[in-house]
Amino acid sequence: MFVGKSKINILGKEYEAIKLKGVYKTVVVNSTEKFEYTQYSYYIKGVGLAKMEKEYSNGKKETLELTKIMSIDEWNKRQ
């Protein structure tokens, strides 16, 4: 779901990003274990997914952030 626009700081530079919200549930097969979390994803035009913030139902929080911007050529060489 689209939440709005947000300014975020990635690699020492401020960007305007769109902010999306998703709610996810994962059930472990053959188990009673399940994981539920809300995720906020930030996308920067011309860069793509730059940051994710996860908030788990048990109160745990996790943030994943872009650490390098690569050109298409650099990306293709990694494959």
26 against 55, higher pLDDT: 55
Q: What is the pTM of this model?
A: 0.81
Contact, 36 vs 24, CB < 8 A? yes
| Spatial distance between the Cα atoms of 26 and 36, rounded to a whole number of angstroms | 6
Full residue range of the structural domain in which residue 58 is found: 2-78
If one counts the domains in the chain, the total is: 1
- Which candidate, 15, 13, 18, 16, places its Cα nearest to that of 3? 18
Interval 8-53: pLDDT, tens: 999 999 999 999 999 999 888 888 888 899 999 999 999 999 999 9
